[in-house]
């Protein structure tokens, strides 16, 4: 049974002000390197599940012509207020108003942990593949399988509800420190994500788990030993 995982009407403003710092910094730090290593010429970028536009603005700062889409009108209102010249579109889950093979790169950060069924994840990935050019890549940023096991700088999973052996599709309670928003995410394993992508016709290029570095000006906790973040790179090796 699915639940309302993220209350965007209530927390859209808080998400809009959330900075890429602490544990969240790790989710984006290595993205430029990964794009450089695995993407070819990048002219068009889709930010799927852009939310309040933080990730879209990040991609634009890297020099990419990024378009953001999201299912939440409240979050898109925040995105447009912070980036008036940006392109932001409201879309239903897994349905995109773009032609086939429209994008070189698709970015999706913290989107699939809000999806309650693996079949829906697969369907979304099929739609992303449809609008992705041949040899284009999808960068999927999400929580790692080990996220609930560590002590993190700006996230906490220390809730009694999490004291169980997690199974695919279970809900996980967490608190984002700094904005003090409590969320409920869905737990999916590496095998779940990779399997759904393969069934959607995508190939895994690499799975990257960023670690905190000792020379960074952040007082890391377990981030130096294990990562709460998993970054999947999938490639479209076939056209539609």
Q: Which CATH architecture has domain 8-235?
A: 3-Layer(aba) Sandwich (3.40)
Q: Quick one: which of 76, 80, 110, 112 has its CA closest to 94?
A: 112
Please answer whether residues 42 and 104 qualify as being in contact, where contact means their C-beta atoms are separated by less than 8 angstroms.
yes
Q: What is the spatial distance between Cα 32 and Cα 42, in angstroms, rounded to a whole number?
A: 12
Which tokens belong to 45?
């970028």
pTM for the whole thing?
0.92
Please return the burial class of 36, using the count of CB atoms within 10 Å of its CB with bins 0-12, 13-18 and 19+. exposed
- Tens digits of pLDDT across the chain (240 residues): 334 455 445 544 444 455 678 999 999 999 999 999 999 899 999 999 999 999 999 999 999 999 999 999 999 999 999 999 999 999 998 899 999 999 999 999 999 999 999 999 999 999 999 999 999 999 999 999 999 999 999 999 999 999 999 999 999 999 988 777 889 999 999 999 999 999 999 999 999 999 999 999 999 999 999 999 999 999 998 865
Q: How do the domains of the chain map onto residue ranges?
A: 8-235
């Amino acid at each position: 049974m699915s639940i309302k995982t993220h209350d965007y009407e209530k927390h859209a403003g808080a998400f809009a002000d959330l900075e890429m710092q602490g544990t969240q910094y790790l989710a984006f730090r290595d993205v430029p390197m990964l794009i450089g290593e695995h993407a070819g010429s990048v002219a068009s970028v889709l930010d799927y599940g852009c939310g309040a536009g933080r990730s879209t603005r990040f991609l634009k700062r890297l020099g990419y012509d990024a378009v953001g889409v999201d299912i939440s009108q409240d979050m898109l209102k925040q995105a447009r207020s912070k980036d008036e010249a940006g392109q932001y579109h409201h879309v239903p889950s897994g349905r995109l108003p773009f032609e086939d093979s429209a994008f070189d790169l698709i970015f999706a950060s913290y989107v699939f942990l809000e999806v309650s069924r693996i079949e829906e994840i697969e369907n979304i990935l099929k739609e992303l593949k449809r609008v992705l050019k041949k040899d284009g890549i999808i960068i999927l940023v999400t929580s790692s399988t080990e996220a609930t096991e560590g002590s993190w700088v700006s996230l906490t999973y220390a809730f009694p509800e999490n004291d169980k052996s997690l199974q695919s599709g279970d809900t996980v309670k967490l608190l984002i420190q700094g904005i003090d928003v409590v969320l409920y995410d869905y737990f999916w394993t590496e095998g779940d994500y990779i399997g759904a992508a393969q069934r959607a016709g995508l190939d895994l290029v690499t799975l990257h788990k960023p670690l905190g570095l000792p020379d960074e000006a952040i007082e890391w906790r377990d981030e130096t030993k294990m990562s709460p973040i998993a970054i999947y790179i999938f490639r479209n090796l076939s056209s539609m």
